[in-house]
């Protein structure tokens, strides 16, 4: 059965212009890329993948950036990327998992838009990323216990940054996107 009220509000929201940037944050594998793509379609908005934009600008994958220059260099690139969004039209931005580690990044994101935290259980994250070799912080540590500890280390920062928190466990992409859109109205 279709929820007509929710469907109608989603269609109404989709007809409006995106008023500000929407920053999707959360741990790797929580669904930021998939949800941002659905939001792009529903809101007729631009979508930006932060990690992909950084890779294109640097001419190498993130794993290579980490290997050659280290994590701090990569975090500097994230900060520059966010700063450069200030003069661009509103977009749905799928942020890298560590983008909120720096308070200055959170302050800039908050100034430019809404910050939406997507969450998932460590077990869900593991199932989603276990075959990936493009997650430098998990290479050599691809297990639920390590994921749980890393998630816990970042949890307070994610929660403090978020304007809205949505669990992605046991929900499809459409449900998550509709939930975000309903909070924009």
> Which of these, 180, 121, 127, lies nearest to 155 by C-alpha position?
121
DSSP string, the chain: ---HHHHHHHHHHHHSPP-SEEEEE-STTSSHHHHHHHHHHHHT-EEEEHHHHHHHHHTS-HHHHHHHH-HHHHHHHHHHHHHHGGGS--EEEE--TTTTSSHHHHHHHHHHEEEEEEE--HHHHHHHHTT-S--TTTTT--SHHHHHHHHHHHHHHHHHH-SEEEE-TT--HHHHHHHHHHHH-
In a domain, 9, yes or no: no
In a domain, 119, yes or no: yes
In a domain, 15, yes or no: no
In a domain, 10, yes or no: no
Whole-number pLDDT of residue 13:
45
Whole-number pLDDT of residue 2:
42
In a domain, 101, yes or no: yes
In a domain, 13, yes or no: no
In a domain, 11, yes or no: no
Q: How many CB atoms lie within 10 A of CB 152?
A: 10
107, pLDDT greater than 80: yes
The number of distinct structural domains making up the chain is: 1
> What CATH number is associated with residue 134?
3.40.50.300
pLDDT range class, residue 184, cuts 50, 70, 90 = confident
Q: Which domain holds residue 90?
A: 20-184
Whole-number pLDDT of residue 43:
93
In a domain, 2, yes or no: no
Summary mean pLDDT of the chain = 87
pLDDT range class, residue 140, cuts 50, 70, 90 = low
pLDDT range class, residue 133, cuts 50, 70, 90 = low
Pick from 34-48, 57-71, 80-94, 117-131: least confident:
117-131
């Amino acid at each position: 059965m279709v929820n007509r009220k929710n469907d109608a509000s989603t269609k109404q929201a989709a007809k409006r212009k995106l008023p500000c940037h929407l920053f999707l944050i959360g741990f790797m594998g929580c669904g930021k890329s998939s949800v941002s793509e659905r939001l792009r379609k529903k809101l007729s908005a631009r979508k930006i993948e932060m990690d992909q934009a950084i890779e294109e600008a640097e001419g190498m994958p993130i794993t290579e950036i980490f290997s050659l220059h280290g994590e701090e260099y990569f975090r500097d690139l994230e900060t520059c990327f966010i700063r450069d969004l200030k003069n661009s039209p509103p977009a749905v931005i799928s942020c890298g998992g560590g983008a909120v580690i720096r308070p200055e990044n959170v302050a800039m994101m908050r100034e430019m838009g809404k910050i939406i935290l997507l969450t998932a259980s460590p077990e869900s994250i593991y199932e989603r990323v276990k075959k990936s070799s493009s997650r430098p912080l998990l290479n050599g540590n691809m297990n639920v216990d390590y994921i749980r500890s890393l998630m816990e280390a970042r949890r307070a920062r994610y929660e403090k940054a978020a304007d809205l928190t949505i669990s992605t466990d046991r929900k499809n992409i459409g449900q998550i996107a509709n939930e975000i859109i309903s909070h924009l109205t």
